[in-house]
Amino acid sequence: MAAPKDSGYIATGDPTKPRSDAAVPFREIVPAPDHPRIAGIQHCDAHSWCESRRKIDAPAWLINRLEAKNLEKPYKGFTTDGIVRERLYHYAGDEGAPIEKITEATTALLGLLSPNQKSSTIFESVDADEFRLWSNPELYMNPGMP
């Protein structure tokens, strides 16, 4: 499938061939369909797969920490072990990113959204509930706000 001409995506290589400069080639870490770690996935949707992982200690540990029930706890900052990391990110003054083009593309995208879609996309700060519930593992943690 080709990217739309106005998407801004520029292909720099053959997408059918894995990159060779990665520390670990992606395909080497994707379990085979018969691997015990993903046994039964073909019979699940995103929700039922997440529920099935709640029965296994390691993924359940992660899932339970990312649930909406944890919104009752105060926001402290970014952490991986309970100790807040102060000044975690340091940015150079100008790294050459095309800020004007990024701003134009973002403005164009936001112009395509309905008011309801905008309210589900734009948040005031990183301590907004939507940010606190966001995660990017392969499991579908929070399928919407509580």
- What would the pLDDT profile of 56-87 be if each residue is shown by its tens digit? 887 787 777 777 777 888 877 777 787 888 87
Query: Using an 8 Å Cβ cutoff, are 60 and 54 in contact?
Result: yes
What is the torsional sign of CA 67, 49, 145, 109?
positive
Tell me if 67 is assigned to some domain.
yes
Residue 7: pLDDT band with limits 50, 70, 90: very low
Q: Please report the pLDDT score of residue 110 as a whole number.
A: 95
Helix (H/G/I), strand (E/B), else coil: 81: coil
Tell me if 20 is assigned to some domain.
no
Element (H, E) at 132: helix 129-133
Tell me if 130 is assigned to some domain.
yes
Question: What residue type is 60 in one-letter code?
Answer: A
Tell me if 112 is assigned to some domain.
yes
Burial of 63 (0-12, 13-18, 19+ CB in 10 A): buried
64 token code pair: 């339970």
The boundaries of the domain holding residue 76 are 39-87+100-146
Tell me if 59 is assigned to some domain.
yes
Q: Please report the pLDDT score of residue 38 as a whole number.
A: 81
Interval 87-143: pLDDT, tens: 777 777 777 889 999 999 999 999 999 999 998 888 888 778 887 777 766 666 666
pLDDT, mean of residues 15-31: 66
Tell me if 144 is assigned to some domain.
yes
Q: What is the tally of structural domains in the chain? A: 1
Residue 4 has pLDDT above 60, yes or no: no
Residue 3: pLDDT band with limits 50, 70, 90: very low
Tell me if 110 is assigned to some domain.
yes
Tell me if 51 is assigned to some domain.
yes
Residue 146: pLDDT band with limits 50, 70, 90: very low
Q: Under 8 Å CB-to-CB from 122, ≥6 apart: which residues?
A: 110
81 token code pair: 């072990």
Give the E-state strand segments of 15-128 in sequence order.
Answer: none
Burial of 130 (0-12, 13-18, 19+ CB in 10 A): middle
pLDDT, mean of residues 3-26: 57
